[in-house]
């Protein structure tokens, strides 16, 4: 019995052995294929996972970059708003400064329009001749500034306009005792041939009602028969240049 069984087995393997081996090989190939396929799936899954992680990281970076850009834009907008908010007050201050300057200019212009009044009443003895020399005798000529107005000794002399006394003292030999007053527009008036007892001193503020001195005889080079009793009046411009007083003071020749 055993011999017959073994013989049957041998005959079976001899006849079917090829197919058995082929089946086993196919199983091995199938198993190997399955393992390779599963490994491929794992690799793909890992790759997909890595790609997903990279995508998430990139998205996060993009989000952070976008937020940073937005924050930068907001900061820029704030700076712009800040600049605008500071520009407006600066413009207002500049406008206020300009208005103040204009007001100051108007004030200066207003004070520049100084109106002169006659310091004494009297007739015109000598008109404006400067710088042309004036003949005072047969053999002598002199350059005399200003004009000469007839006025009795001791006559009160008032300031021709509001101002500040700039100097009190003796002038040239043809001026005698003089008082120099500076006015708001830079012009000056000078009063000469005054009595030595003046009523004001340097630095005093005066108006057209202020008596600054009296007509005197402090000029000694002219005889009484030439100019007689008089007040010498001079007007100088802002450049300290002599100008014709008759442009500002209405004196007429004696009729």
Measured CA to CA, the distance from residue 199 to residue 168 in angstroms comes to 10
**pTM > 0.75:** no
- Residue 254: inside a domain, yes or no? no
The rounded mean pLDDT for the chain is 78
255 domain-assigned:
no
202 and 155 belong to one structural domain = yes
Asked if 109 and 136 sit in the same domain, the reply is: no
| For residue 67, pLDDT beyond 70 | no
Same domain, 18 and 129: no
Looking at the structure, tell me whether residues 109 and 162 fall in a common domain.
Answer: no
On whether both 25 and 138 belong to a single domain, the answer is no
> What are the tens digits of pLDDT across the range 2-55?
556 666 766 666 666 677 777 788 888 777 777 777 766 655 555 554 545 555
Write b or e for each residue in 63-102: b if 16 or more Cβ atoms lie within 10 A of its Cβ, otherwise e: eeeeeeeeeeeeeeeeeeeeeeeeeeeeeeeeeeeeeeee
Q: How confident is the model at residue 107 (pLDDT cuts 50, 70, 90)?
A: very low
**pLDDT 10s digits, 176-218:** 999 999 999 899 999 999 999 999 999 999 999 999 999 999 9
Shared domain check, 94 and 188: no
In a domain, 213, yes or no: yes
End of a domain among 61, 89, 113? 113
Percent of the chain clearing pLDDT 70 (strictly above): 61
Same domain, 68 and 1: yes
Domain of 71, in residue numbers: 1-113
Per residue in 117-146, pLDDT (tens digit) is 999 999 999 999 999 988 877 788 888 999
Clarify whether residues 40 and 97 are in a common domain. yes
Residues 138 and 80 in one domain: no
Same-domain pairing of 102 and 130:
no
The candidate with the shortest Cα–Cα distance to 176, out of 130, 144, 201, 203, is 144
At residue 165, what are phi and psi to the nearest 5 degrees?
-65, 125
DSSP class of 24: H
Domain boundary among 113, 144, 161: 113
Whether residues 134 and 211 fall in one domain: yes
Q: Of 57, 80, 113, at which residue does a domain stop?
A: 113
Residue 65 binned pLDDT confidence (cut-offs 50, 70, 90): low
Picking from 154, 156, 155, 182, the residue whose alpha carbon sits closest to that of residue 168 is 182
Task: Tell me if 118 is assigned to some domain.
Answer: no
pLDDT for res 105: 43
pLDDT above 90: residue 240: yes
User: What pLDDT shows up at residue 62?
Assistant: 58
């Amino acid at each position: 019995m055993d011999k017959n069984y073994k013989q049957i087995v041998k005959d079976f393997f001899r006849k079917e052995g090829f197919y058995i081996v082929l089946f086993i090989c196919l199983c091995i190939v199938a198993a190997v294929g399955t393992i390779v396929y599963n490994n491929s799936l794992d690799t793909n899954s890992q790759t997909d996972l890595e790609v997903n992680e990279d995508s998430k990281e990139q998205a996060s970076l993009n989000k952070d970059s976008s937020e940073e850009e937005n924050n930068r834009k907001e900061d820029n907008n704030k700076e712009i708003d800040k600049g605008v908010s500071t520009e407006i007050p600066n413009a207002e201050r500049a406008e206020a400064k300009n208005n103040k300057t204009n007001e100051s200019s108007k004030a200066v212009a207003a004070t520049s329009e100084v109106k002169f009044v006659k310091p004494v009443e009297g007739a015109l003895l000598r008109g404006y001749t400067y710088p042309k020399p004036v003949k005072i005798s047969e053999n002598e000529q002199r350059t005399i500034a200003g004009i000469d107005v007839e006025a009795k000794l001791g006559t009160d002399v008032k300031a021709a306009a509001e101002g500040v006394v700039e100097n009190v003292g003796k002038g040239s030999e043809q001026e005698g005792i003089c008082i120099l007053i500076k006015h708001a527009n830079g012009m000056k008036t000078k009063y000469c041939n005054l009595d030595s007892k003046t009523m004001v001193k340097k630095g005093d503020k005066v108006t057209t009602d202020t008596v600054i001195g009296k007509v005197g005889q402090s000029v000694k080079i002219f005889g009484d028969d030439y100019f007689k009793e008089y007040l010498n009046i001079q007007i100088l411009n802002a450049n300290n240049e002599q100008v014709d007083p008759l442009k500002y003071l209405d004196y007429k020749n004696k009729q």
